[in-house]
Structure 1
Amino acid sequence: MIAKAKSVKGSLAGALYKERPDKDHEIIYQNNMFGETAHERWEELRDIANLNTRLENKYIENVVSPPKEIGDQLSREDWEKLAKDYALKSGYGENQWYAVLHQNTDERHLHIYANRINFEGKNTIDSEKIGERSGKIAEELSQERGWKTAKEISSDKKADIRQCLENSVSSSRSWDQVESKMEEQGYVLELSYQDKNGVRTLNGARITPTEEYKGKEEMSRREQLSKKGYKLSEIDRNMKIKELDNKLKKNLEKSQNYGRSL
């Protein structure tokens, strides 16, 4: 599971974004709040936050995203418990916070918005290293539930991709063949080239599970920047595109020599 957190100034626009119709959202839980609309929730948060005139970033924005295969199976009650457990470990206590489930992407995820200011006007949530802490909390919650952590999931994916790529290269004579074999096994292989002094040179590759892949024309700007999949160096730092390319050339040469010997 992945969790991200940051302190923010907050705004009505930010609150409205979380509940846009295209987000296929659902309010999962509200703590010490009674608002029924995004406007009302923002006004409640702001009224309490304004009790503190010294702090600039008075809110915490969180995104909590379980692995797809788990998130797809969670009930509303499961999401509520996840939100409460995350908030408890994050130290929100009796402060105002609410959780919104977004279901418009491949991976269902929670947006949790918390007020750092309590009802006495005191800042009760330390923002130092909050992103790092949120990651550790996600790992703790994953372990408690028997879920794989983000690192474990990524490691498993990389191992599978490496095995698939190595097998495909070993049995191919061109990158077209490799791409086709990777596709058959559920991966999209994208090669990258560098143009220098009029010479086009292969300089890298990115491999993405087909279920996570979208063409650029289908992707939002945020999705394009997030770059699903892995570069070769991320799969294995010792895996080099030139070595794989040379392997294909040798395979081609062997097949040609064999054909001439017949």
Structure 2
Amino acid sequence: MIGLGKSISHTKVSISYGWNQEKEAVVVYRQHLSGETPMEITQEFKIIQSQNQKCKRNTLSFVLSPTIEDGRELKSTELKKITERFVQEMGLHEQQAIAFVHRNRSHIHIHLYVNRINFEGNAYKDNYIGKRSQLAAEKVARQLGMTTVREVQQQELNMVKDVRAEIKQIHEQVMSEMGPRDFDQYIIYMKQRDVEVVPSINKHNQLQGFRFEHKRENLKGSHVHRSMSIRKIAEQIGFDQREVQQIVNDNSMYLLGKTVRVSSNLAMALAKKVIKLTVKKSIGLGM
């Protein structure tokens, strides 16, 4: 579960959003309130807020988002318990508060609004409220056996790690089995194996590198593996020597039907390739 929090000044607008019937909103928690409409709730907040004219952002807005898997199993009573625990962890159990659950999407979430001003007219300290909200939500998730934000992040990291490994394996297969002679062939062969290779071209029409799209992940080449920067890929491709020489001389190349400029790093890598090819050819001729 992920928790987000901030201080706001637009109380009525926010509560109206929370109570939006188009989002199938249902009240799952209320505290020290009797109103039945956004206007009535806002007025009850304002009566207490009038005791502290210095505080402008006098309402606290939180969003609690269980994972999609956890959310499918949660009933209103359980959503109420989540909210109660969160309010307790944040030290807001004596404040006016109301919370709604939105079920209009597969990823259900709770909108919680709390009066920042207490009944004595004191403002709740909102220092680092975003971080504190995140930590409180994580603690509540652990208490209730739900997935924590750290676990979600670890799952995402594991997924990216697996995708990186797949892309690298496909890249190595393309290089060893297909032997592409230029970038165009490399891009085509990778696409045949469900990896979209997208050239990164800056505003000066200069080829900077490649991004790799696979299984909904979009990764920079060097983030897939250090051996997959555009310079390293260029060194692995079996470019025709004359074509390489022309690219180095013109500082540009033909890519996917367009002429693009090449970066100094790529030009240098290709220049080294020309030298290696020339030396290899000379050795073969016994020179």
TM over 0.5: yes
TM interval, short-chain normalised: 0.7 to 0.9
Which amino acid in the other structure matches residue 193 of structure 1? Answer: S
What RMSD over aligned residues (CA atoms) do the two structures have, in Å? 3.2
Structure 2 distance, partners of 1:61, 1:241, is 46
Q: Taking structure 2 as the reference length, what is the TM-score of the superposition?
A: 0.67
Size of the aligned set, in residue pairs, is 226
Q: Where does residue 201 of structure 2 map in the other structure? A: 194
The runs of 5 or more residues in structure 1 that have no matched partner are 184-188, 210-228, 254-262
The change in CA–CA distance for 1:148 and 1:15 in structure 2 (over 3 A counts) is closer
* Matching residue of 1:87: 87
Map of 2:109 onto structure 1: 109
Distance 1:151 1:230 in 2: 22
Gap regions ≥5 residues in structure 2: 175-185, 240-287
Deviation at 1:32, TM superposition (A): 0.8
* 1:120 shift after superposition: 2.9
SS of 2:94's partner is coil
The alignment partner of 2:43 has SS state of helix
Matched, 1:156 2:155: yes
Q: 1:71–1:237: structure 2 CA closer, same or farther, 3 Å change rule?
A: same
Residue 102 of structure 1, CA deviation? 1.4
Q: 1:198 to 1:129 in 2, by over 3 A?
A: closer
Residues 180 and 72 from structure 1, CA distance in 2 versus in 1: closer, same or farther, beyond 3 angstroms? Answer: farther
**Maintained 8 Å contact 2:210/2:220:** no
Query: Within 5 A, what are the aligned runs for 1:52-201?
Result: 52-123=52-123, 125-171=124-170, 173=174, 174-175=186-187, 191=198, 193-201=200-208
Match of 1:204?
211
Question: Is contact 1:3-1:138 (8 Å) kept?
Answer: yes
Aligned equivalents of 1:26, 1:168: Cα separation in 2: 44
Give, in whole Å, the separation in 1 of the partners of 2:106 and 2:191: 24
Q: Which has the larger radius of gyration?
A: 2
Shift of 1:195: 3.1
Structure 1 counterpart of 2:139, one-letter code: E
3-state SS of paired residue (1:51): coil
CA contact (8 A) 1:169 1:244 kept: no
SS of equivalent residue, structure 1 residue 61: strand
SS of 1:139's equivalent? helix
Q: Percent identity?
A: 21
